[in-house]
Amino acid sequence: MMLLPDVWRKLKLLSDDSTEHLQRSLTIFWAEYLPEAMQGYPLAGPRFRRKKISSCLSRMTFLLESCGDGPRTNLRASKMLKQTITEILARGQCGLLRASYVCYFWGEQQHLDRFLQAYAVEKARSEARRQGHTVTEQSLADGSIKLIVQVGGGA
């Protein structure tokens, strides 16, 4: 099995900028084991077909490219819903999931934490770049990562 940081690096190979397509928040469902319903599940969306590794090897699978903004999902997501597990379908239909990328993760909690940290850093960097700010990164002693966004500092 691969570690999530490796998965993250591979996800960056999906496009020129991985966060370019992750403009919305990422919703993660965690499970200790790979759910049976997920085995053999194809990656959702054409942009993920360029992924070079099997989704089953990555501990992380994108279930939906996007959910709808309300109780009714959009057309593209509706097509995907046919292949998703019941839990995701129910949450999407009752509006608990709103405009999120949905991701199913299985494995150890610490690996999920590391992924969430990497995701948050990338997401913050992306937002700062989008607004034309300069970002510097520092690693702290407790394992945290500190981002200093210089407002109006230029990209």
- The residues binding other proteins (CB under 8 A) are 25, 113-117, 119-121, 123-124, 126-128, 131, 133, 140, 142-152
**Cα-only R_g, the chain:** 16
Closest contact distance (angstroms) between CB of 95 and other proteins is 15
Q: How far, in Å, CA of 89 to CA of 46, rounded? A: 21
Select 19 or 58, whichever has its Cβ closest to other proteins. Answer: 19
Q: Closer CB to other proteins, residue 25 or residue 78?
A: 25
Residue with Cβ nearer other proteins (75 or 151): 151
Biggest CA-to-CA distance, the chain = 49
CB atoms closer than 10 angstroms to residue 17 = 12
Residue 19 CB, shortest distance to other proteins, in Å, is: 9
In this complex, which beta carbon is closest to other proteins, that of residue 12 or of residue 49? 12
Least separation, in Å, of the C-beta of 9 and other proteins?
Answer: 17
Q: What DSSP character marks residue 150?
A: E
Contact between 63 and 79 under an 8 Å Cβ cutoff? The reply is: no
Task: Report, in Å, the least distance between residue 37 CB and other proteins.
Answer: 26
Q: Are 64 and 139 in contact (CB under 8 A)?
A: no
